[in-house]
Amino acid sequence: MRKEVTIKWFLLILVFLLSADFCFPSDRSEGKQKLYKVSVFILTPSQQPTPDNRVFKRIKEEFGIVFDFDIIAGDANQKIGVMLASSDLPDIINAHQRFIDNEAFIPLEGLIEEHAPRIKKHLEQCWSLITHDDGHIYVMPNWGVYQGDYKSNESLGPAFWIQKAVLKEFGYPEVKTLDQYFDLLIKYRERYPTVDGQPTIGFEILCEGWRDFCLKNPPQHLIGFPNDGDVVVRDNKAEMYSDKDYAKRYYKKLNELNQMGLIDREAFVLSYDQYIAKISSGRVLGMFDQKWNFQRAEYSLKKQGKIWRTYAPCPVTYDESIKDYYMDRPVVNVDRGFGISVNCKDPERLIKLFDSLLDEEWQKFLQWGVEGEDYIVNDKGKFIRTQEMRDMQNDPAWKQSHTGLSFFDESTKLEGTFSDGNATSPGIQPEEYFESLKPEDKEFLAGYGYKTFSDFFSPPPPNPPHYPVWSLHIPEGTPGQTAFLKYDDISLKYLPRVILADPKNFENVWAQYMDELEKIDIPAYLDAVNEAIQVRIKKVVNN
């Protein structure tokens, strides 16, 4: 009897030991870990992923991590202010300068050094650039860190955009100057006062919140400078352009066009969603914007079959003697991406997740999908898609259930080419790009003798060391940052007034705008910017 009891206890203990996976940590796969619910705040408006989203389903299966997304809706600054005031911070935060200034993020360099060899290798080329003066890294850049060959078939950046239907109507003209651009919009609107039964909108302007760059930034490009935000830089020294005559020239033109009825009467009260809805209707002929900002509307137009109502870039300047500088070379998106908050209970597990997602096989899944379902490999080893695959992947509903949406956009990622020579995403794979175009787009490009939409732009020169200024850090609460916030408020208040003014009162309203700007300590802002430019130059040189 005693022997039988001893055997039973032995067997029970053995079963317990075999089932207790904590006794065999080396045998535990990520997928067997206890589920870890991770809260994520994302600043880019988008739809929530579907419950069966395949990316997050696979992450759950392999890493035991599920995400709870808080995707911005409404005013970002107000939302951030509430989060900071309450200290109610999610685990992962889509970086914003206010989070950095208010010490909402933990330092990442130690975690990366110890637990994330892929991230370390990926960020080596910009390590000092993304390191703050206190020696810490708080954000993993979401875009701009390239390996292998860099390929560009189109620009997602700024331009004066125009419907392809307008350019086709007038025989694919070269559009080099601002006057040529607006002349086409005027003539087309006169010929077609309605589109699909709705009044044609000649020119749209978005100025909601931080997207007021659609209103403020054009003057720098019109004089041949790149997108440095609210300044232009000459010989490594910044100057404001909003108070210059070349800026006044642009707003005076808009004032004249407003009197002609070309500008949308609701332009200055539109929310971002309303702006996207208007573009998605197909009746907006043109706007100044960055393509990534209105790409949701492009997807909608394509889904509706309104390919001629999608947009082509016009990198216009004031006159043809000025070389356009809209397209740039890749830049590291410093302090843009994801950071891990001070409230996170297991940052080590999260940094390991980000490191695993940077593996080539995961990146191929995230950017290309599943081989055989979303792409195929041809006899030369190149990734290509069938037309059926392309059509399916252009469907916003498909994207919502099959891609990582904003989470992947804000994560650090591989860009350029994989080790096998394939481009990291379909959009930059040369063999795939042209074939992926709709017949209408191929016809459109043929009208200009082009193969890609990048051909509309002048080739970008090497980026200056400081570039882009909009990514430079001006500490919160400093005189420079206070001056900038006041300038931002005044510009958003007065520029619509300038545009909407009776032409007889334009000079008076512009003078009022200049008087208000003079009350601000603009030199403090420029001093802060120029100091940051010198810091950036040293970092680039030393990296």
Which pTM value belongs to this model?
Answer: 0.73
| Burial class (CB within 10 angstroms; exposed 0-12, middle 13-18, buried 19+) of 276 | buried
| pLDDT attached to residue 67 | 95
- Judge if 35-148+333-436 and 158-326+439-518 fold alike in CATH terms: yes
CA atoms within 13 A on the CB side of 114: 10
Q: How does DSSP classify residue 310? A: S
Domain segments of the chain as ranges: 35-148+333-436, 158-326+439-518
- What the block records as the tokens of 91 is 């685990």
Strand, coil or helix: what is 50? coil
Question: Pick from 90, 99, 80: which is nearest to 138 by CA?
Answer: 99
Q: Report d(CA 221, CA 326) in Å as an integer.
A: 7
Q: How does DSSP classify residue 30? A: G
| pLDDT attached to residue 16 | 45
Q: Report d(CA 528, CA 478) in Å as an integer.
A: 9
| pLDDT attached to residue 541 | 67
The architecture CATH gives domain 35-148+333-436: 3-Layer(aba) Sandwich (3.40)
Q: How does DSSP classify residue 464? A: P
Phi, psi of 413 (to 5 degrees): -150, 165
CA dihedral 388, 393, 397, 403 (to 10 degrees): 140
| pLDDT attached to residue 150 | 74
Pick the CATH number of 158-326+439-518 from 3.30.930.10, 3.30.70.141, 3.40.190.10, 3.40.50.10470: 3.40.190.10
pLDDT in tens, 131-173: 998 999 999 999 989 888 777 888 889 999 999 999 999 999 9
| pLDDT attached to residue 104 | 94
| pLDDT attached to residue 542 | 67
| pLDDT attached to residue 487 | 95
- Residues of the chain whose pLDDT is less than 50? 1-3, 5-7, 10-31
Question: Pick from 96, 194, 84: which is nearest to 139 by CA?
Answer: 96
| pLDDT attached to residue 135 | 92
